[in-house]
Structure 1
Amino acid sequence: MADPTASILILDDDDDVACAASMLLRRRHGAVATLGDPARLEALLQAGVPDVVLLDLNFTPGRIDGTEGLAVLDRLRALPRPPSVIALTAYADVPLAVEALKRGASDFITKPWDNARLLAAVDGALARRASAAVPSAPALMGDSAPMRELKAMVAGVAPTEANVMVLGENGVGKELVARAIHGTSSRAGSIFLAVDMGALPETTFESELFGHRKGSFTDARSDRAGRFQAARGGTLFLDEIGNMPLPAQAKLLTALERREVTPLGADRAEPIDVRIVSATNLDEARLFDPSVFRPDLLFRLNTIVLRVPPLRERRDDIPGLLHHYLSLYEAQYGRPVRELAAHALVRLCEWSWPGNVRALRHACERAVILAAQAEYRFEDFGLFAPASAAQAAPAAAARPGDGEEYKLGALERETIAAALDKAKGNISLAARMLGLSRAALYRKLGKHGI
């Protein structure tokens, strides 16, 4: 999905490769820079950290061990707010790709690449960076009763091998829950690999998940490992599982049932050794609708179901979250330490936070950058809602049941419409205002017919 505000760096010593990638990406995104010498990276970072880096793993002619690129990857991941990194390699070397993923790369691409595959990888990296928690933020923040219950469930399920499905609205931190499960499991020393299932093109679904062999289709110029093979021994996080088309669901079910995958063009299956954690923002009524999601696949995935509470259901956590993110961004941007005005805290704790913790984090970043007074005021956070929505929220909370689903749907529609109006139709800007990814906003536009 195009994002004219995104900044992308292609770090590759092959001018032809860098030029080809740059020309492709400039059709969809904003600033695309190229760099052939990693020694010049520090000077470039002084001017600003890009959103996504396409990183070659070898620079010295004849080197194929990837140590040069991995060193650059470590440097990028050590930044206060690191970019998403996509590893590039001319060698279909699964161990090297896995090592890059273990060190924090969000994906890997084998050169020469398929254009659709590269575009999907960059879109996924941008979406993941936009929705990811700030790296230095502790996972699963909050000590409210709902969060204590969730943490206890994570602690109980993590040491097992059970498949887990994480349910929750956009922005609640479903991936953080998945990472917490992985981090306290017996697989913690192996890879955690996240895949946005909603972003996988249906035409390349099998190749992406199961891999392919050289010559299995046009442009398959080399063997390529799929996500199941790349995550071997670790945890495979299937995000946005509810957005998969039914034919793709059938293929995933077969792999899970047989515990093996067959790469495209291969004549034999390969065993898989991954723990599956999945997530969706679908409400459970739609999740159990056979026309939306296969019941047999659902039963494979939801051995354990964890429900992540929205921020409006754990308001006791809001003051601590505000303090954390304001302090974090003050340090990141070198801004003075300010107190939060009492009246602002009251209003922020009463806010409905339709984008949940993600929206709160973005609001704190905005306040730190733009605040001009001695204290943070409510206006510094850039929050708004139509008057009708502001009035409807307490009414809906006061009368649960009795058309609650309709009221919440109407509130969501009004809030999205207001954000689009304020953003003058700019989808990327409206998504940031709402604390949503662009993909999530597009889905909601379709849902409400906006």
Structure 2
Amino acid sequence: MKKINASVLVIDDQEEVLIAARLFLKRHFNEVTTLSNPANIIKTISEKNVGVVLLDMNFRYGYENGKEGIYWMKEIAQIFPDVKIILMTSYADVHTAVEGIKLGAVDYLLKPWENDKLLEIIKHAVKLVRKQSKAATITVDYFTGQSEAILKAYKTAERIAKTDVTTLILGENGTGKFVLAKYIHDQSIRRNQPFVHVDLGSLNENLFESELFGYVKGAFTDAHQDSMGRFEKANTGTIFLDEIGNVPLHLQSKLLQVIQSKEVIRLGESKPRPLDVRIITATNENLQQSVIDRRFREDLYYRINTVSIEIPPLRERREDIIPLLDYFIHYMSHKYGLPEKKVDATIMKKLEAYKWSGNIRELQNRVERAVVLAEGEQIELHDMGFSDLDIKMDDENIAVTLSDVEKSKIQECLIMNDNNISRTAEQLGISRAALYRKMEKYNISNT
């Protein structure tokens, strides 16, 4: 009988269960790994390139509510979203099993299992992994655009991806900092290792150390077992520290120590644990100003800023708005199994003029809404949640911006020509009278 080419991981605290699973599954799958300690899950999945996990829901004697299984399931799903998880329990706790299914488990199994049923469920999970992998090979994961600024950003990203240089990504909210960080990871030799995203802006100060650095059993009241932090979970891969500008000053030194030493010490422990991890950070803050204002440590700033990449806001790359619109319409239509709808040229012009304060994230959300709600063959402005007033107001904002540019250009030419009206008007390609009117309009003096 030919074995199925798949890597399966079985996790249970009962040795007899692991032996039984290993003996049976090795007859059907190329690689079967067993674990009794859930603390080693992340490392094992990474090293063995596991596709399917068979996860027990209870790891400690006397605890039969399945919460530990749900906890570890969430950890796996966060770091390895493509891994398929099957839950196991000795107790017919349908409520907890259903919770697990809602959270993303592909199925659940009651112990003692029937071998035929076990094999059937795992084979189904393997098919899902392969289907997902095949789809990923034909899907465009990254949309760059054609504006000079964004092409420059991605070109820099490609170059640094070949190294482990610490990288800082700058840009407003919604410009695609997470996407660029993932792009760097996926272009690197660490692409098959964990990519761990940490939103430092939403991390509670009281949980900062335990979440990032981990803790040992008994370190604090609710520390019932050892737990690795986000840095350890990212070991051999990449950790993406998003919104690093929001880290309180008194916690920045702890972060600096880990980044400098590439070692982490869990709460309640004294021994340092070595890290092999690439570090990418991002912020929408002006960190240089924060350093001046003493809100951000200068040494931490230079430690994370070996190379910086700035992503321009969407209003500064307007040539990318319509290609992005088309991209998201195609993506969302495929996602929801709906026919692709068109956008009228008149509406496209209005969308190009809109300010997009929420950047690409706003565009994506509005397109997703429109794809689902549009009733006709074409997408209208109201399908995207716009009113005529929204677009009108933003047209006015664009006009103000152009006025500012015109005023600045006139002042620049006046200085270059020593306030000579005739030469300035000639350089600008307008009459003296027109120049005087514009100077009056913008309150520009030539003295």
Q: Does TM-score exceed 0.5, indicating one fold? A: yes
Match of 2:229 in 1: 226
Match of 1:410 in 2: none
* Distance change in 2, residues 1:374/1:187 (3 Å): closer
Match of 2:215 in 1: 212
Equivalences for residues 9-158 of structure 1 within 5 A: 16-17=65-66, 35-37=95-97, 53=103, 60-61=110-111, 75=128, 138-158=141-161
State the shift of 1:228 in Å: 1.3
Normalised to the residue count of structure 1, the TM-score between the two structures is 0.61
Aligned partner of residue 236 in structure 1, secondary structure: strand
How far apart are the structure 2 equivalents of 1:267 and 1:156?
38
State the shift of 1:275 in Å: 0.9
State the shift of 1:220 in Å: 0.8
State the shift of 1:225 in Å: 0.8
* Distance change in 2, residues 1:402/1:334 (3 Å): same
Residue 302 of structure 1: which of 298, 301, 305 is its match?
Answer: 305
How far apart are the structure 2 equivalents of 1:69 and 1:249?
45
How far apart are the structure 1 equivalents of 2:167 and 2:272?
25
State the shift of 1:38 in Å: 7.0
Aligned partner of residue 351 in structure 2, secondary structure: helix
State the shift of 1:387 in Å: 5.8
How far apart are the structure 1 equivalents of 2:66 and 2:168?
40
Residue 370 of structure 2: which of 351, 355, 367 is its match?
Answer: 367
How far apart are the structure 1 equivalents of 2:96 and 2:126?
15
* Distance change in 2, residues 1:303/1:336 (3 Å): same
Amino acid across the alignment from 1:337: E
Higher relative contact order (CA 8 A, sep 6+): 1
How far apart are the structure 2 equivalents of 1:77 and 1:203?
41
State the shift of 1:336 in Å: 3.2
Residue 329 of structure 1: which of 289, 312, 332 is its match?
Answer: 332
How far apart are the structure 2 equivalents of 1:18 and 1:376?
45
Match of 1:272 in 2: 275
2:345 is the alignment partner of 1:345: no
Match of 2:83 in 1: none
How far apart are the structure 1 equivalents of 2:271 and 2:394?
57
Instruction: Render the CA deviation track for 1:275-306: whole Å, top value 9, x for unaligned.
Output: 10001111355443443211111111010000
Aligned partner of residue 309 in structure 2, secondary structure: strand
Match of 1:314 in 2: 317
Contact 2:287 2:296 in 1 (8 A): no
Amino acid across the alignment from 2:340: V
Match of 2:404 in 1: 399
* Distance change in 2, residues 1:340/1:58 (3 Å): closer
State the shift of 1:156 in Å: 1.2
State the shift of 1:245 in Å: 0.8
Moved more, 368-377 or 296-305: 368-377
Match of 1:123 in 2: none
Match of 1:195 in 2: 198
* Distance change in 2, residues 1:280/1:76 (3 Å): farther
How far apart are the structure 1 equivalents of 2:406 and 2:298?
27
Contact 1:12 1:18 in 2 (8 A): no
Amino acid across the alignment from 2:370: A
Instruction: Render the CA deviation track for 1:88-127: whole Å, top value 9, x for unaligned.
Output: xxxxxxxxxxxxxxxx9xxxxxxxxxxxxxxxxxxxxxxx
Contact 1:140 1:151 in 2 (8 A): no
Instruction: Render the CA deviation track for 1:205-226: whole Å, top value 9, x for unaligned.
Output: 1111111111111111111111
How far apart are the structure 1 equivalents of 2:264 and 2:124?
32
Structure 2's unaligned 5+ residue stretches are 1-54, 59-63, 72-93, 114-118, 409-447
How far apart are the structure 1 equivalents of 2:316 and 2:160?
23
Aligned partner of residue 165 in structure 1, secondary structure: strand
Match of 1:87 in 2: none
RMSD: 4.0
Residue 175 of structure 2: which of 169, 172, 175 is its match?
Answer: 172
Structure 1's unaligned 5+ residue stretches are 1-10, 23-33, 42-49, 81-103, 105-134, 404-450
State the shift of 1:192 in Å: 0.9
State the shift of 1:328 in Å: 2.2
Number of residue pairs aligned between Structure 1 and Structure 2: 317
Aligned partner of residue 354 in structure 1, secondary structure: coil
Amino acid across the alignment from 1:391: E
Contact 1:347 1:378 in 2 (8 A): no
Instruction: Render the CA deviation track for 1:316-339: whole Å, top value 9, x for unaligned.
Output: 111211112112222333333322
Instruction: Render the CA deviation track for 1:4-51: whole Å, top value 9, x for unaligned.
Output: xxxxxxx996783469999xxxxxxxxxxx85447995xxxxxxxx6x
Amino acid across the alignment from 1:209: L
State the shift of 1:179 in Å: 0.8
State the shift of 1:69 in Å: 9.8
Instruction: Render the CA deviation track for 1:212-253: whole Å, top value 9, x for unaligned.
Output: 111111111111111111111111100111111111111001
Contact 2:265 2:272 in 1 (8 A): yes
How far apart are the structure 2 equivalents of 1:334 and 1:365?
12
Contact 1:58 1:69 in 2 (8 A): no
Amino acid across the alignment from 1:307: E
Match of 1:379 in 2: 382
